[in-house]
């Protein structure tokens, strides 16, 4: 009888391991970002609808900010759009909308019709910046802290639950607009340029 | 006359057959340097298309796969090594983009697992065989008794 104990025990162990694997499977569809805890890739791109204006990500140094990757060809982006507008209204962190491989005219029409949740809209027509950020599908949304580190990445549309649990919970609670921590170590950091061309 | 037309048709069909392989390829781009082109072919077959996860970027017609192929080509032309290109992309998309994951702390179990399982199998096999041999000896002894 005892000679069956080991194989049966091993089988039971296998069942438990596989059961845990199956239960956790839905989360495994989402590939964790390789950028978490690392400095956000710097980039500069032309601004949507503003010829000659360049967006530079260094403008957000010292601030919490959100990068949302979107395109008018992206169905799920339409689904999250109202939530993005609500996020802008909360005033907790500015949202930069990276317009990924899109048509400029379509993109401008989209923002005019649905409302513009973005403070700035850099245009990544060739998809090079998206590759630097490890983007593999829109929408993707990143949270960047004042030190310029990627704190969180969400794949798929943002819902009220996702906003509360994954973004708002990480942002400093304040009714006032996000304060500007003065970087004392690095004085070379320029004051975040006011988004003059945007809006 | 009809024989002539038949011959022309045969030639046309043969030529069409010759043309089909390039038409089927997802990626029509060729690098000028044949050595670079060979490395490009090899690399693009071992990088995963992140949108259609069971295809390589060489096999996928998706837009992002095309962008990643362009990235690989540009890095090759810049003179980066294969290893540098692999880690360049893994730094952005994670080890998941590599069909052959690099050996590191996180993937150690992945690489070690086949060896460990083989070792366990060998130990079990040796024990079973030895047990059988011992039992066979015992029955031989019993068989000897009546004689």
Each residue of A37-60: pLDDT tens digit? Answer: 999 999 999 999 999 999 999 999
Burial A22-44 (b: 16+ CB within 10 A, else e): eeeeeeeeebebbbeeeebbebe
Helices (H), chain B: 2-24, 34-45, 63-78, 82-93, 108-144
Q: Does residue A192 have a pLDDT over 70?
A: no
pLDDT of A198 reads: 41
Q: If we measure between CA atoms, which residue out of B80, B77, B83 comes closest to residue B46? A: B83
Report d(CA A121, CA A48) in Å as an integer: 6
Q: Quickly tell me which residue has 């060809």 as its tokens.
A: A73
Strands in A150-155's sheet, in edge-to-edge order, are A123-124, A95-100, A65-70, A140-144, A150-155
**Which of A36, A42, A135, A136 would best serve as a mutation to test chain B binding (most B beta carbons within 10 A)?**
A136
pLDDT of A27 reads: 62
Q: Spell out the residues 6+ positions from residue A65 whose beta carbon is closer than 8 angstroms to its own.
A: A93, A94, A95, A96, A144
Residues in A whose CB is inside 8 Å of some CB of B read 31-35, 101, 126-128, 130-134, 136-137
For residue A136, which residues of chain B lie inside 8 Å, CB to CB?
Answer: 50-51, 64, 93
Run means of pLDDT, 10 residues per run, chain B, 147 residues: 70 64 60 90 90 81 89 94 94 89 80 93 94 81 55
The ipTM, to two decimals, is 0.72
What's the distance, Cα to Cα, between the start and end of chain A in Å?
78
pTM for the model: 0.72
């Amino acid at each position: 009888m005892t000679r069956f104990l080991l194989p049966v025990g091993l089988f039971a162990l296998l069942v438990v391991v596989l059961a845990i694997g199956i239960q956790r499977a839905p989360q495994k569809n989402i590939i964790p970002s390789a950028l978490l805890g690392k400095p956000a890739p710097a980039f500069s791109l032309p601004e949507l609808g503003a010829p000659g204006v360049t967006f530079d990500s260094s403008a957000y140094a010292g601030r919490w900010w959100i990068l949302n990757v979107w395109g008018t060809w992206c169905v799920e982006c339409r689904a999250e759009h109202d939530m993005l507008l609500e996020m802008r209204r909360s005033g907790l962190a500015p949202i930069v909308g990276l317009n990924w491989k899109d048509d400029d005219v379509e993109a401008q029409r989209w923002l005019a019709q649905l409302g513009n949740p973005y403070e700035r809209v850099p245009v990544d027509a060739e998809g090079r910046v998206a590759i630097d950020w490890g983007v593999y599908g829109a929408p993707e949304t990143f949270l960047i802290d004042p030190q310029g580190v990627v704190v969180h990445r969400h794949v798929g549309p943002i819902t009220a639950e996702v906003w509360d649990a994954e973004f708002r919970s990480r942002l400093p609670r304040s009714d006032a607009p996000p304060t500007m921590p003065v970087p004392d170590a690095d004085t070379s950091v320029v004051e975040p340029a006011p988004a003059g061309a945007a809006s | 006359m009809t024989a002539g037309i038949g011959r022309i048709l045969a030639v046309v069909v043969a030529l069409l057959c010759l043309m089909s392989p390039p038409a089927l390829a997802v990626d029509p781009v060729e690098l000028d340097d044949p050595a670079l082109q060979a490395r490009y072919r090899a690399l693009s077959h071992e990088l995963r298309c992140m949108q259609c996860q069971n295809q390589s970027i060489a096999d996928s017609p998706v837009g992002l796969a095309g962008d990643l192929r362009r990235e690989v080509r540009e890095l090759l032309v810049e003179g980066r090594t294969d290893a540098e290109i692999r880690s360049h992309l893994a730094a952005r998309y994670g080890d998941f983009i590599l069909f052959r994951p690099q050996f590191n702390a996180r993937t150690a179990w992945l690489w070690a697992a086949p060896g460990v399982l083989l070792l366990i199998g060998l130990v079990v096999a040796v024990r079973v065989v030895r047990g059988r041999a011992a039992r066979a000896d015992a029955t031989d002894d019993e068989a000897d008794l009546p004689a």
